[in-house]
Amino acid sequence: MPVPSSKTADCALPGGIGVLDGLVASAPVRDAFRFFDHNARWIDERHLTICRIPAPTFHERTRAEWFLEQFSSFGLSARLDRAGNVLAHRSDAPRSAPLVAVTAHLDTVLAPSNPAQIEFARGKFHGPGVSDNGAGLAALLALARAYAELPLSAGSATPLFVANVGEEGEGNLSGMRFLCRPSPLLNRIRAFVVLDGPSVEHITSEALACRRFEISMTGPGGHSWADHGTANPVHALSRLITTFIDMRSAVRTAERCSYNFGVIDGGSTVNAIPSSARAKADLRSADPLTLDGLVDDLSAASESAELAENQIATAGRVTASIRETGSRPGGKLRDSASILSYIRAVDQYLGIRSWPDCASTDANVPLSLGLDAISIGAGGAGGGAHTPGEWYSCEGRALGLRRITLLLCLLLAEQD
């Protein structure tokens, strides 16, 4: 794959536009690019294997152990931490060397019921998790092997490759939270590069804050005919949801937000008044005050629905409760951060039209702590994330790997 001319490269890159020319002309980087091209089939095969190992959130152990074996087979020093993350680095790296963490999450929203559910034909994968985050994990593995065989930097820093747990859903970023807890390891990490999905157009440099709740309604229950009029938890919960939506529809704010009731259940049979019902809600906004407003409205809707159901009931009462089940912190990378200037320069050099965006990823945690972090795609194309119809196309994977390689080289060469 030819590399576009450096004439379009960002002149703000420390050292001038010749830095990228020099990197691409250097033997280690040229060899790495050739490695990705020559091992495209190997990467595809590993991608298929990864996705055929079920790894729903909280059940990533088997996939983690597979990554541990792979990293070790490359000659890297690899281990599982107490959270279940897999960490790997060159065994000859000094124990005090600065680190650049390159991460990809192991877990998926949906898991294949059997290996045959993950298919690969004519350069395209189909099945749960092949894009999110099969694409990121396959790139992480390819980069780790390339770096093990072809050291990409003569500087003092070294990459730390991390396959982490708990990114999706109620995992609540548990793997990244553990990695970013106060520790000697965290003190050595100068930047985080999170590989999530395929798209190379987005540079996630702002963390979308998210709060999640489980809302419960309980009541006495009863027979649908004999006890008709008894306070009904399902009716009350339905009223809560519609009341909340009506409240939010009346709010006009310049700040973007979202809300979703993603799980609703309750009751046991059609001819019985339920004794309980519950729903799970996901509230998001990059603006703290807007997010607080969503939470306040959810609480107000709960109180209103409980009161309304109890007022019309002829027997019994419902009781509402709200429990917070997860909170993803917000944060934003400063405009002057070197990692941002590096990725912009690399994208201009490679002819990639990208832009900064706001999303909820593993990068939320380091960004909330004021650490340098971005989340980027691993190359290729994909769609249908979080559905059984998820797909991923390998076309463009090599470009994504080159992009990550150049970014990593710039970060590793950065002076403390």
pLDDT at 253: 77
Nearest alpha-carbon partner for 68 in 95, 88, 89, 46: 88
Nearest alpha-carbon partner for 149 in 256, 243, 28: 28
pTM of the model: 0.91
pLDDT at 252: 82
Both 401 and 253 in a single domain? no
Both 72 and 201 in a single domain? yes
The C-alpha torsion from 252 through 253 and 256 to 259, rounded to 10°, is: -50
Cross-strand bridge partners of residue 343: none
Q: Is residue 202 part of a domain?
A: yes
Q: Is residue 1 part of a domain?
A: no
For the segment 313-336, what is each residue's pLDDT rounded down to a tens digit?
Answer: 999 999 999 999 999 999 999 999
For the segment 78-119, what is each residue's pLDDT rounded down to a tens digit?
Answer: 999 999 999 999 998 888 999 999 999 999 999 999 999 999
Distance CA 408, CA 374 (A): 12
Residue 148 reports pLDDT greater than 80: yes
Distance CA 308, CA 287 (A): 32
Nearest alpha-carbon partner for 90 in 75, 104, 105: 75
Mean pLDDT across the chain: 94
Both 284 and 399 in a single domain? no
Reply yes or no: is the peptide bond before residue 133 cis, omega within 30 of 0.
Answer: yes
Q: Is residue 372 part of a domain?
A: yes
Tokens standing for 416? Answer: 């403390």
For the segment 358-401, what is each residue's pLDDT rounded down to a tens digit?
Answer: 999 999 999 999 999 999 999 999 999 999 999 999 999 999 99
pLDDT at 14: 60
Both 125 and 40 in a single domain? yes
Residue 4 reports pLDDT greater than 70: no
| Domain boundary pick from 328, 363, 383 | 328
User: 133 with 198: CB under 8 angstroms?
Assistant: no
User: 340 with 203: CB under 8 angstroms?
Assistant: yes
Tokens 């980087």 identify what position?
A: 29
| Domain boundary pick from 297, 328, 359 | 328
Both 221 and 319 in a single domain? yes
What residues make up the domain containing 280?
209-328
Q: How confident is the model at residue 18 (pLDDT cuts 50, 70, 90)?
A: confident
pLDDT at 2: 37
Both 259 and 196 in a single domain? no
pLDDT at 416: 62
Q: What is the CATH number of the domain that holds 294?
A: 3.30.70.360
pLDDT at 152: 73
User: 179 with 192: CB under 8 angstroms?
Assistant: no
Domain count, the chain: 2
pLDDT at 236: 98
pLDDT at 12: 57
